[in-house]
Amino acid sequence: MRYPASITFTDELDADAWLAEQRRAIRTGRWVSPEEQPFTVATMPTLSTYADTWITERPIKESTRSHYRALLRNHIDPVLGRRRVDLLDAAAVRSWYSKLDTGTPTARAHAYSLLHAILRTATEDGLLEANPAKIKKAMRTERKRDVVLLGPAEIAKLADAMPQQYRLAVLLASWGGLRWGEVSELRRRDIDGTLIRVRRAVRYQHSKFTVSSTKSFAGRRDVHLPSFLSAEMERHLREHTGPDDDALLFTDEGGQLPHHRFDPIFAKAKRSIGKPDLRFHDLRHSGATLAAQSGYTVKELMERLGHSSPVMAMKYQHAAEERGKELAERLGALAKKPRKSRTTK
């Protein structure tokens, strides 16, 4: 059977190039007959239309879907939205990426990651020969600030500086490596002595709370706290938690505790211990680093922190190794100090 090109070529070289590409596609098994192709030139969707369908069909949380739509609306559509998917090329993607605001590196990386994923599916659907989003390291974002790590004594000082009903939040984030959304959704039924069952997380967005499963499947985990926190847990449950199994550990006027209500309290405490740049999420990093220093393997760190990838766990182990080297050097420095000579009578 003969299949004509979908367009009429005005140049013989262009026609030959098209024919050579079809033959290459047949040899490599990529060729699809017009009857099997989901789109024709006349029905080929714009990137905006294709991306909207892509987001709708993803098996993702509604909060993630909302985030994707915001990225599409604010960062991708204004420049690339009206282009036909099959006409997108590497030059167009590079030009779009160069115009993204470098002052918001996280949003920039997320927007590029979303575009890359959408175009990867378009490639699998046969709309593109190859993914034109191939800018190296564009999906990464460089940390703009250093993480503030606390040692055990500093964690204790910070907890002491907090109001009694919130000091356990600091200890759970630090010694348990819990995220804020996990800490603020903990309920009495999730606590069994010093065992924390992390099953849910809460998100405060658009002036309302949304409770869902953890950030990822790996985030659903059991976290064992050090036994010295046993008394802290018992006191908090006795004095600051309702009797029902569903009672929240940390509340704001009986309801969920939003981050913006907790932040001023936390800010006052961190300033009082001389750590004004500390973020609540840094406590999770502190806990992870302490766990690595105590001997947790990469797999054990992944399970404790709820990570799907070993990358972050390996970073914590590296930080622990560096700390070990530093302490060894301090130890060695003691040997270099001049000793007082002993005098004999």
- 30 included as an active-site residue: no
Q: How far apart are CA 268 and CA 331, in angstroms?
A: 36
Residue in 112, 166, 296, 316 annotated catalytic:
316
Residues 163, 265 contacting (CB under 8 angstroms): yes
- 284 included as an active-site residue: yes
From the list 131, 176, 174, the residue with the least C-alpha distance to 155 is: 174
Residue in 110, 167, 179, 240 annotated catalytic:
179
Q: How far apart are CA 93 and CA 299, in angstroms?
A: 37
From the list 33, 124, 132, 40, the residue with the least C-alpha distance to 92 is: 132
User: How many residues in total does the chain contain?
Assistant: 345
Residues 182, 212 contacting (CB under 8 angstroms): no
- 316 included as an active-site residue: yes
Q: Which residue has the tokens 């606590």?
A: 191
Residue in 108, 236, 284, 304 annotated catalytic:
284
Q: Where on the phi/psi map is residue 96: left (φ > 0), alpha (ψ -120 to 50), or beta?
A: alpha
Amino acid occupying residue 224: H
- 285 included as an active-site residue: no
Q: How far is CA 267 from CA 66, 175, 220, 261, 262, in A?
A: 30, 20, 29, 11, 9
- 221 included as an active-site residue: no
Helix axes 167-176, 230-240, angle to 10 degrees: 140
- Which tokens in the block code for residue 101? 């605001």
Residue in 189, 235, 281, 318 annotated catalytic:
281
Q: How far apart are CA 19 and CA 25, in angstroms?
A: 10
Just list the catalytic residues: 179, 281, 284, 307, 316
